Amino acid sequence: MAGVAALTGAAGVVLAAQSGPEIPSIDEFLPPEIIFAGTPFAMNRIIMVRLIMTVVMLVVLGITASRAKLIPGRWQGFVEWGIEYVRDKIVYEVMGELRGKRYVPMISTIFFTIFFFNLCGIIPGMNIAATATIMMPLIFALWTFVQYWIAACREQGLLSYLKQECTPPGVPFPVLILLVPMQLIDILIIRPASLTLRLLANMIAGHLIVALCFSATQFFLIIAENKLMMGAGVVTLAFGFIMTLFEAFVAYLQAFIFATLSSVYINMSYPEVD
């Protein structure tokens, strides 16, 4: 991150010196409405990307599923590996098979959708994650939120759940005065908010860094007259390349974290077994 700061600083200096590279800003995440503007069905660039990616995902996975054979080919094997990865390494790993079975479709939906949407950030032509507006992460977080409250009411009753979460055994009474509000805030606000913000912030930050690198490269190599800046351009290009690969990893990592934390929160709604 220090490198990023240095780069940003360098870019700032360049900006001051001459007309400078185009610095990406949060405006890119608040793009103008381009279709059905002013209606509740208005679409901006990010929503277009999201809808296109949804269609692509449904078509690709749909064709894979409808052509699925008993003896899988390479692509089917890869998709099956993904399904089994989510099931075994995320859901069953956290909740165990008995509890987890019910939640496999939910967590799979969350994982695959977030992963595909995150990947939009490095797909040329889209160049922005479909999860990079507040609502998309938030709606996944709300789904998790609803599910863990439902699980709590179903498995042990609301009061028992609140007691389990807010008053851990062995905590002396004075501490509870602090602890109970904190825990209530945690299960009511912090959990969904942290899920939402973690994903959103990762996507925004990743896009800004990659965009900054390539914008700087564009400026150094093509627009700038000074040949000495070519070297800086090569560095920013290499860094942009590395960050693009890193964003691919982050796309997976954030999907994994979101899916795992959803499983964990739902699992915490179940009564503790000694």
Partner 1 sequence: METFAEGKSGIALFVPESYDIIWSSVVLIVVAIFFYKFFLPKFQAIFDERAAKIEGGMAKAEKAQADADAAKKKYEDQLNTARVDAAKIRDDARTEASHIIADARTKAESDAAQITANAQKSIESQQQQALVSLKGEVGALATALAGKILGSKLSDSDVQSSMIDSMIDGIDKDNAGKAK
- The residues that touch partner 1, with contacts defined as CB under 8 A, are 12, 23-27, 29-30, 33, 36, 39-44, 47, 50-51, 54, 57-58, 61-62, 65-66, 68-70, 79-80, 83, 104-106, 108-109, 112-113, 133-136, 138-140, 143, 200, 204, 208
- Give, rounded to a whole angstrom, the gap between the first and last alpha carbons of the chain: 43
| Angstrom distance (rounded) from CA 183 to CA 113 | 30
> Smallest distance, Å, CB 192 to partner 1?
13
> Smallest distance, Å, CB 252 to partner 1?
18
Cβ closest to partner 1, residue 3 vs residue 62: 62
Contact call for residues 216 and 236 (beta carbons, < 8 A):
yes
Cβ closest to partner 1, residue 104 vs residue 250: 104
Cβ closest to partner 1, residue 47 vs residue 183: 47
Cβ closest to partner 1, residue 84 vs residue 93: 84
235: closest CA among 224, 247, 220?
A: 220
| Residue 198: partners with Cβ closer than 8 Å, 6 or more residues away | 137, 254, 257, 258
> Smallest distance, Å, CB 148 to partner 1?
17
Q: Is 3 exposed, middle or buried (0-12, 13-18, 19+ CB in 10 A)?
A: exposed
> Smallest distance, Å, CB 173 to partner 1?
37
